[in-house]
Amino acid sequence: MSNLFTRNRLIGFSFAVFIAAIDQLVKWYVIGPLNLRNVRNIELLPFFDLTYVENRGISLGMLQATNMEMGWLLVGMTALIGLVVLVWMMREKILGDILGLSLILGGAIGNIYDRYVFGYVIDYADLHVQVSGATFRPFLIFNIADAAITIGVVIILARSLFVREKDDETEAAEPQAENS
């Protein structure tokens, strides 16, 4: 059984590294070959553009890093959160939970790298809808790391609300069956 848990954690850690690498590869492509930093916007679909944004804050633009010290504070805070997620991931045994946490960890690594290297996070994915001539954005402009973090959080929440309850019910029923 211990080998299974070790295997699951290795899969999770590898997946986190993969997510961070894909995030950085796409960011390199949009600021390198696509030159999005200078072009600023590339229309791809009626509902999706590539739009260059330097995100100097955290989620929803909160805690803007207006100076170098604040920037390093954000690097430290996000690194601490990443460390907590890594420890949590190493304590989990079920692959579903580990994969949700690995999405969060991989996304955090991608964004921490940006903050460390550039002083801001590179965002580029611009999902929008035209309604009566007005543009509606259900999300702020984001990147793969942000999407991975969001999906990971949804997986963890869904599993904690729905899957664990079933596991608890199964465990509660097993001792009664053994006593019969």
| Catalytic center residues | 123, 146
Token couple for 145? 């790391």
R_g (Cα) of the chain, nearest Å: 20
What are 42's two structure tokens? Answer: 């590339």
CB 16 within 8 A of CB 149: no
Helices (H), the chain: 2-31, 36-39, 68-91, 95-118, 144-158, 164-179
3-state secondary structure of 162: helix
Cα–Cα distance measured from residue 154 to residue 164, given in angstroms and rounded to the nearest whole number: 14
